[in-house]
Amino acid sequence: MELRVLAVGDVCGGSGLQLVQRQLRQLRREYRVDFCVVNGENASVVGITPRQADSLLEAGADVITLGNHSYNRREIADYLDDSRYILRPANDSPLYPGRGLGVYDTRAGQVTVINLIGRCNMAFGPDNPFLLAERLLKEVSTPFTLVDFHAEASSEKLAMGYHLDGRVSAVWGTHTHVPTADDQILPRGTGYVSDLGMTGPIHSVLGVRVEQSIATFRGGLSSRYETAPGPCKLEAVLFTLDSKTGRCIQTERIRYHDTTNACR
């Protein structure tokens, strides 16, 4: 028996959320997905609201992971404590609301999902994700373990992949919103990709209006980022896991383009 896990890249703004609502269940059927993890930390461009989290779960996400914008929408605080289906980075401050690890049932057995955040080039100093991962894995006894590593540097992500190789089923990177072409199975059987990409407007700078991003880099006064208009894409990776060993046996990059120009 196999477990087919779909990991969906950062959902950006209302248009990205709309695309997930329209297409995720169809993609689940098409690719025979058993379990789906969606990174939702940019559902409000920066942050996520309880209503948006509910929308992602209703659309077909089994678990939502977050990142450096976990708390930008402060109304999410109680939701993080109350819902076991949304995770924030486990190496954030223990004083923050929510949890960074969850255990969930699937047809092939239980799966543990761990959300971690990197430290390289980030604007704050969370706990060491490598040391925390080691401590967390001592508590894990499920057949499958999945890790969303929300980090800036591809070197840090790849190092984490090799650090956990053979100890978890899959490690994927989020945060940079650009899909990488390095999906692979590491030597000891862990599925890996440096970045899933994003779910949101195609003609944008990481989901944001192009003119806003250019103005920022030119040195102009910044304004609150807005989601770019136009057609959208959904980027993800499908990991196929062996139920006997928990190891990854196949990876497949998925990129769905909405050509209807319906995302606004």
Decide if 175 is catalytic: no
Of 69, 150, 175, 177, the catalytic one is 69
Which residue type sits at 176? T
Q: What is the DSSP letter of 220?
A: P
Question: What do you get for the CA distance between the two ends of the chain, in Å?
Answer: 41
Give the long-range contacts of residues 47-55, CB within 8 A, separation 24 or more: 47/71, 47/72, 47/73, 47/76, 48/73, 48/76, 49/73, 49/75, 49/76, 50/75, 50/76, 50/78, 50/79, 52/17, 53/79, 53/83, 53/86, 55/17, 55/20, 55/21
Structure tokens at 114: 């761990």
Catalytic residues: 69
